[in-house]
């Protein structure tokens, strides 16, 4: 399977059968993220306890790339610390902006690394990064206000 069909397959799978697209019962943090240029609109929900993301989910609507990327991201975030979440979102956004990642860095991103090709699709960049930008904003706010728990 070449990288392009792998990309399509993974995006399709997460878009049609998202694992984390639902509302959490008791999220400690909720932030809305929008990408007006495409019409993507998600509410990202996290349960953060003792500085660790215990659960992550999203709800909303948008194109396949935005929804699939948010789903992969939630999967990756569960069990990660605030700092790790920040690092992963920086890695992902760097990759989408065309930075070359090392094999180790790609492994850290797991399935989300399959979206690397989006860096050659300018119209899809904001779709792919929507969830990641939103989580970064959440984590930044947390470190400013210190209301993690
Ligand atoms: Zn989109």
Q: How far apart are CA 140 and CA 126, in angstroms?
A: 19
**Which residues of the chain register pLDDT less than 50?**
148-149
Supply the pLDDT for residue 7. Answer: 86
Q: Measure 143 CA to ligand 1 centroid, in angstroms.
A: 29
CATH number for domain 3-144, candidates 3.40.50.1240, 3.90.1010.10, 3.40.50.150, 3.10.20.600: 3.90.1010.10
Beta strands in the chain (DSSP E): 29-35, 40-49, 52-61
Q: Measure 149 CA to ligand 1 centroid, in angstroms.
A: 32
Supply the pLDDT for residue 68. Answer: 97
Beta-strand relationship, 40-49 and 29-35: antiparallel
Supply the pLDDT for residue 146. Answer: 63
* DSSP for residue 81: B
In the chain, where the domains are located: 3-144
Q: Is there a contact between 142 and 82 (Cβ–Cβ < 8 Å)?
A: yes
Give the SS3 label for residue 39: coil
Q: Measure 37 CA to ligand 1 centroid, in angstroms.
A: 8
Q: Measure 125 CA to ligand 1 centroid, in angstroms.
A: 8
């Amino acid at each position: 399977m070449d990288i392009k069909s792998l990309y399509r397959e993974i995006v399709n799978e997460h878009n049609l059968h998202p694992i984390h697209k639902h509302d959490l019962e008791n999220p400690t943090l909720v932030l809305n993220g929008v990408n007006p240029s495409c019409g993507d609109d998600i509410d990202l929900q996290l349960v953060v306890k003792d500085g660790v993301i215990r659960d992550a989910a999203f709800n909303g609507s948008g194109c396949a790339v935005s929804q699939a990327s948010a789903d992969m991201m939630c999967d990756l975030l569960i069990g990660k610390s605030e700092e790790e979440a920040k690092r992963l979102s920086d890695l992902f956004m760097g990759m989408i902006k065309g930075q070359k990642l090392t094999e180790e860095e790609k492994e850290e991103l797991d399935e989300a690394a399959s979206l690397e090709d989006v860096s050659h699709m300018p119209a899809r960049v904001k779709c792919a990064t929507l969830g990641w930008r939103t989580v970064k904003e959440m984590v930044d706010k947390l470190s400013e206000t210190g209301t993690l728990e």
